[in-house]
Structures are given as structure tokens and as C-alpha cells.
Amino acid sequence: MLQKKYIPILIATFIWIWPTIFVKYLTSYFDNYTQNFYRYLAAAAFLVPINLIFFRKEFVKALKNIRQFIFPTLSVVAFQLLWVQSIEMLEPTVSMLLNKASVLFVALFSFLLFSDERKLLSSSKFPIGSIMAIIGVTGVIIGKANAQLGVFNPGILLALLAAVCWAFYLILIKTIVRRTDPIVSASIIFSLAVPFFFIASLLFGNLNVIWENSARVNTILFGSGIFCVGIAHAFNYKSIKLIGASASSNFILITPLFTAIASYFIFGEVLSLIQIISGTVLVSGCIVLLHAANSNRFPLSRE
């Protein structure tokens, strides 16, 4: 029988099959800055009323200590800007696979930030998982069937930088949800992120383009913001609080497989054999790292 504590991450995992698909589709209609703004605006607009109705007391209390949400907000803004740009330059599944390297960065950041957890490196699983992850990322990068040697796609660098930002974001979220309700935390962080995306869109994007698109396109835009940003992140926050970030990440590692299937039917994306094998090695290496983290009481995997 499925334990209730796993329901939030199962919901988040299912929803997160689709973000790269939606973002790739929307790049034909919106520039990256404008897309980010409207998607996070939709997420905040959806979550804030829920908090005002059902979590008003804790929501108001959290707002009094709003400084704790600043760094998570900056991290998720940086992640979103880099990640969406990488999706425009790369195929959806490749971008998602590269983003899974964030598990490696989570381990490294935790080693640097938590002195009592440095014994993690003494685990034989840590170097094995790290090497597998690095080999996997390398294979995904150079394994494109029609890739030209010597031609570097800057989307690769952006995807890896996004993975670093995501890892830092997870570490910060873990510390916050210990004392603040996950839905309240998500609502505040996304609300704080909206002005950053607004300024970026105002300077480099086109806010008026929304009036030029069909109702179908705008529905996908706002719907993806509500579900893939607002609801999915809120459930992931809840999962991190219930079972830890490492266990949550274990579930999310399966999303590239289903994203690849969806991307094949929608965009005709076909991974080369080398990329398929490398992606498998990458995900396997991340799983080894997660097991090493759990066995060494990694701070992101315990309450």
C-alpha cells in the first residue's frame, strides 16, 4: 500500500515530465524573459489566494521574516533564466538530462556548507557516483548523432549552470520548510520572483506579445505556470519536508525517460545510442550519490 508521505513527490514527478515540453513549445511565441514572467505570475496568483484563505496566520507570520526567502528567490530566478535559455538551444531531453547533474552539485555544496557532513566523502559510493555522473554528462554532450566536433553549444553551459543554481535552491529550501509550511514558502518565493522576471521582461522581452497569441497558446502559458511552477514546486517542498530532498530527487530522476517519450511524439526528438547510454549512466550515478548521501546522514535526506 502506498504511504501517504510519497504522494506529494509522485504528483510533482508526474507534473515535471512536462515543463521542458511546454517551454520548448512556448519559445515559438514568447521570448524567454516574457515567458518566465507570465508563468511565475500565474503560479503566484494561484498560490497567494490559497494561502490567504487556508494558511493566513502562518502566511502573515512568514512575511514578517521575509529575509529568509531572499536567497532562495534569487536562486530560483537564476535557475529559471538559465534553464529556459538552455531549452531554446538544446533538445528538451538533453537539457533535462544535464539538469540532473544538480544531484552532484547538491552533494558538493553540502560538503562545503555543512562541516558535520563531510564524512560523506569517505563513502566509497561518493567517488563512484561522481565519476558516473561526470561520464554521463560528457556523453550526453558529445553523443549527438549529428554533432560537429569542435562546435560548442552554449546551451550546454547554461544547462549546467542552471543545475548549480537548482542544487543551491534545494539546499536553501530544505532549511526553510523545517520551520515554514511548504505551500506558504512556495507562495512567498514565487511572489518575490515575479518582480525580477518583470524587470527582465521589461528590459529584454516583450510584455505585449501576449495579446498577439491565441487563447490556446496563452492557456498553455498560464496553465504551465500554475501546474509546473506553482503546484509542482509546492508538492516538491512538501515532499522535501516529509521524506527529504535526496529521496525526492530519487523519484524525479525518472522524468527524463518520460520527457524523452513525449518529446519524440511532439518534436520528433531522437537521442543517439551514445546519448541514451550516457543518460542512463548519468541517472545511475546520481542514484549512487543519493544512496551514499542517505547512508551518511546527508542533511538533505533527513529531518
pLDDT digits (tens, 9 = 90+) for 169-206: 988 888 898 889 999 999 999 999 999 999 999 999 99
Highest mean pLDDT (candidates 23-37, 238-252, 265-279): 23-37
Residue 103 in this model has a pLDDT that exceeds 50: yes
- Categorize the per-residue pLDDT at 302 as very low, low, confident or very high, splitting at 50, 70 and 90: very low
The terminus-to-terminus CA distance of the chain in angstroms comes to 23
Highest mean pLDDT (candidates 4-13, 41-50, 133-142, 251-260): 41-50
Closest CA to 8 of 165, 176, 177: 177
Higher pLDDT, 232 or 88: 232
Handedness of CA 150, 96, 42, 220 (dihedral sign): positive
Residue that has been written with the C-alpha cell 537548482 in this structure? 166
Cell of 33: 524573459
Residue 295 in this model has a pLDDT that exceeds 60: yes
Closest CA to 298 of 204, 184, 170: 170
Q: Are 232 and 12 in contact (CB under 8 A)?
A: yes
Distance CA 108, CA 119 (A): 12
Q: What is the pLDDT of residue 272?
A: 76
Q: What is the pLDDT of residue 227?
A: 94
